[in-house]
Amino acid sequence: MSKAGLRALVAAAALMMAGWAGAVTMPTLTALRGLEAGEWELRGRGEGAETRKLCVTDLRQLLQPQHPGPVCRSFVVNDSAHAASVTYDCAAAGNGRTDLRIETSRLLQIRSQGVSQGAPFAFALEARRIGACP
């Protein structure tokens, strides 16, 4: 292979790596722009559903309700002013797909499904901002 061909191959590989690295971090979603960080109450829908509180410091946390903590590697499927769909991968912790429907800046409908700690999950939640984090 000539030096020019090798340089072209290295440049193409660098562009591919830069594109892959960009996929690891999730951009700011249009759907999340009108929402506020703070304490959110996540109320399960359906019989026997639980309610829990989540201190949201990064609104992207709402996109992975089964995997709280650091924001995982994500891919945006759909993003508009009132809805978003994201798939995410949290390595050994699992993965999922979450669909958000924004009703108001303090009220969301969340549907999420995937695998957590080796077991499948699927649920629907109503998320309501209830104030500042304690």
Per-residue pLDDT of the chain (134 residues; tens, 9 = 90+): 555 443 443 343 333 333 333 344 555 799 999 999 999 999 998 877 899 999 999 998 899 989 887 778 999 999 999 999 999 999 888 999 999 999 999 999 999 999 999 999 999 999 999 999 98
Instruction: Give the CA distances from residue 129 to residues 21, 26, 123, in Å, rounded to whole numbers and listed in that order.
Output: 32, 22, 19
Q: Which of 100, 105, 107 is nearest to 86 (CA)?
A: 100
Buried b (16+ CB within 10 A) or exposed e, 4-40: eeeeeeeeeeeeeeeeeeeeeebeebebbeebebbeb
Rounded to whole angstroms, how far apart are CA atoms 36 and 132?
A: 9
Domain range spanning residue 83? Answer: 3-131
The whole-model pTM stands at: 0.76
- Between CA 6 and CA 27 the distance in angstroms is 33
How many domains is the chain partitioned into structurally?
A: 1
Q: Which of 16, 108, 124 is nearest to 56 (CA)?
A: 108
